[in-house]
Amino acid sequence: MRSRAFKFKQLRHFTAVVLVVLGGCAVAPSRPAPKVNASPQPLARLVIATPDTDHDVLAQLLTGELALGHTDLKTASDAYGKAMLSSNDPRVAERATSLALAVHDNVAARRALDRWQLLGAQPVAMAEARAGLAIAQGDSAEAKRQLELLTSSGAKDAWRTFGRVLLGDSDQAQAAQLLQSLATPKRLPADPQAWLAMSELGDKFNQHAYAVGIADAAMQKFGTAETYAWAAQVKFKDGDHAGARALLQKAIAKAPQNIQLRLTYAGVLTDAGEYAEASRLLDHGPQNADTFAMRAALAARNKDATALASIYQQMQQAAPDVRERSAYLLGQLAEMQHRDDEALAWYGQVGDDDAHAFDADLHSAIILQSQGKTDDAHQLLEQMQTDYLEQPAQLRQAYEVDAELYMRDLNYAKAEDAFSHALQVVPNDPGLLYGRGLAYAEADQIDQAVQDFQQLLKIKPGDIDASNALGFTLADANRDLPEAERLINSARSAKPDDPAIADSWGWLQYRLGHLDQAVQTLQSSWLARKDADVGVHLGEVLWKQGRKQDAQRVFEEVRKLDPHNTALQNTLKRLHL
C-alpha cells in the first residue's frame, strides 16, 4: 500500500489539476459586449445545472484538505466520504477509507472499502485495509483471512505491511495471536529480514518463546551475521549473557567490519563490567561517530587521559560527516585537554538542531569567562535566556550559570539578579535559593541571606549544606549564635570530616570566644584542604591569640593561593596589616 505521504501528494496533485482545468474558464479576458439588436440566441436561454455542495467533488476535496491542515480528521473523513460517491477516481475512495479507519468510523470505512474495490483497488492494498477494519471491529477470524491473503500475495512488502497492521492493533493479545498463527517458519519468505522483524514483533508483544524460536530458526536457516546478532540480543534479554556473547562473537567473525555489530557487542561487554575488553574491541576496525562516542565514554570512565587525547587526535582526522556529527564531543575532548580555543571552535560548529546545542553554548560561556572575556560570556548567556524563553529547564540553567559566573567575578549584585530571575522560572528551587543566599551573604545582605537559607530548610528540612550555610552566616554576622551552634553541630554530625563544615565550626568557636578550640579546628581544616577562606579565618584567630608571626605565615600562604581573595584583603585591612 502506498505511504500516507505519497497518497497525500497524489491527491494534492489531483486537486490542483481539477482547479487548473476548472479555473481556465474563469480567467479569459473580458470584452465589452457589442451593441446588437438581434433577437436572443437559443444558447443565451440555456440554464446550466450546478451540483449542490454535497455532490461537488472539488468542493468536498477542498474541504477535506483544509480540515487535514487543521488536523480535523472527522471533518476530513466526512468530506472525502461524500467526494468518493461522486468521483470515479480510486484514490479518493482509498483516502476516504484511510480517514474513516483513522477516526474509527467502521460503517464509513466499510462503505469506502466497497467503493474502492468497485473502482479497481489493488488486491494487496484491499487486503491490508480490510484486515485493519476487521481488527478494529475485533473480528480476528476475518482479520486472519485478510492477512493470509496479504502475506500469500508474494508482494515485495507484504510482510512489512503485515507487521504494520499488527502494530496498529490496540488489542495486543489479538495482535500476538495473529502473529503466531500466520508468521510461522513454514509461511515466512526466504528473507532473513522478515524473520528478524517477526521475532522482534514477538518480543514487542511479550511473546518471548515465539521470539526466541523464530530468532533461533532464522539463525539456523540463514546463518548471517544479522541473524546471529539478533539471536544474541534475545538471549541477553533472557539473562543468558554468556550465550549472547558467544553468538555475538560468531556474528563479528562473519562480519568483522560491521560497526553496528561491534557496538552491540561492546554494549554487552560494558553491561557485564568488562570495560577494558569493550575498549579493545572498539579501538580497532572502522570508526564512526557512535564508536568514537562510546570509546570516549569508556576512556572518561577509566580517567584515561592518554586514551582521550588519542581519540581526539583520531577524530580530528575522521571524515567530515563524522566530525560534523561529533562537534560537541570534540569540544568536550578539547576542553578536557585545556585546548580552550579549539573547544570554542568545535562548540561553535554544533548545529542549532543538535541535541547538545544548549550544552555547547553553556560550555562556551564558561570558557569565555575563564579566558577573561567576561562580557562575551554574559552576552552569550543573555542571548540564551532569550532563545530558551519558552523552555523552563534550559532557561533556569542559563540564568544559574550566568549567576555563578557573576559570583566568580565578585559581582554579587548581578549574581543576585540572575538567581532571582531563575527563581521566577522555578520558584523555591533549592539550588537557586542556596546560590542566591550565598550571593546575599557575600554582599553583606545578611537578612536576605538568612531568609533564603531558612526558606530552603523549610523545603528540605535538615539539609546539611543549607544548615551549614545558615549557621556560618549567623556566626559570621555575630548574631543568634545559639541557633548557629545548633545548625553547624547538626551538619558536623552528618559530615564529621568535611573541611568546610569544620571551618564553620571553628569560626563559630572564635565568635563564642573559644580561641584555643577555634585554632585547633581551623588548623585541622586548613591542613586537610588548603582553602583560602579557611586560611583567612585561621590567620585572624592566630592574630587574636597574639601569635602574629604564625598568623602572618598563614596569610602569606593564602596570598600565594589566591592573590585577589576578598576575605583576605578585608581581614588585613581590619587588622591594619
Question: Given this model, what pLDDT does residue 54 score?
Answer: 62
Rounded CA-CA distance 264/250 in Å is 13
What local confidence, expressed as pLDDT, does residue 463 receive?
95
Q: Quick one: what percent of the chain has pLDDT higher than 70? A: 90
Average pLDDT, rounded, for the chain: 88
Which tens digits make up the pLDDT trace of 500-525?
Answer: 999 999 999 999 999 999 999 999 98
Write out pLDDT tens, residues 326-369.
999 999 999 999 999 999 999 999 999 999 999 999 999 999 99
pTM of this structure: 0.69
Q: Return the higher-pLDDT residue of 241 and 476.
A: 476
388-397 pLDDT, tens digit per residue, is 999 999 999 9
For residues 109 and 97, the answer to whether their CB atoms sit within 8 Å is yes
Q: Which amino acid is at 131?
A: A
Buried b (16+ CB within 10 A) or exposed e, 286-303: ebbbbbbbbbbebbbeee
Residue 67: name the closest of 57, 56, 78 by CA. Answer: 78
Least confident of 295-309, 404-418, 522-536: 522-536
Helix axes 106-118, 90-102, angle to 10 degrees: 160
Local confidence band at 22 (pLDDT 50, 70, 90 cut-offs): very low
Would you say residue 241 has pLDDT above 90? no
pLDDT grade, residue 28 (50/70/90)? very low
pLDDT of residue 45: 44
Whether residue 46 is predicted with pLDDT greater than 70 in this model: the reply is no
Q: What pLDDT score was predicted for residue 51?
A: 56
- Provide φ and ψ at 498, rounded to 5°: -80, 120
Quote the pLDDT of residue 294: 96
pLDDT band, very low/low/confident/very high, at 242 (cuts 50, 70, 90): confident
Backbone angles phi, psi at 138, to 5 degrees: 75, 20
Q: How would you classify residue 318: left for phi > 0, otherwise alpha for psi between -120 and 50, otherwise beta?
A: beta
All three cell numbers of 73: 480528521
Q: What is the pLDDT of residue 286?
A: 93
CA–CA gap between residue 364 and residue 350 (Å, rounded): 11
- Average of per-residue pLDDT across 119-146: 92
d(CA 407, CA 422): 15
Q: One-letter amino acid identity for 101?
A: L
Question: What is the average per-residue pLDDT within 193-215?
Answer: 94
Can you give the pLDDT at residue 37? 47
Three state DSSP letters for 318-383: CCHHHHHHCHHHHHHHHHHCCCHHHHHHHHHCCCCCCCCHHHHHHHHHHHHHHCCCHHHHHHHHHH
Query: Rounded CA gap, 256 and 258, in Å?
Result: 6
First CA to last CA distance, the chain: 88
Nearest C-alpha neighbor of 64 from the set 80, 49, 88: 80
Cell of 12: 494534492
pLDDT, tens digit (0-9, with 9 covering 90-100), for 139-165: 999 999 999 999 999 898 999 999 999
What confidence score (pLDDT) does residue 2 get?
A: 35
Percent of the chain with pLDDT over 90: 74
Q: Per-residue pLDDT tens for 94-120?
A: 999 999 988 989 999 899 999 999 998
Q: Write out the E strands in 86-220.
A: none
What number is the average pLDDT over the span 264-282? 90
Q: Closest by alpha carbon to 248, among 267, 229, 234, 263?
A: 229
* Residue 484 Cα to chain centre, angstroms: 43
Neighbours of 101 (CB within 10 A): 21
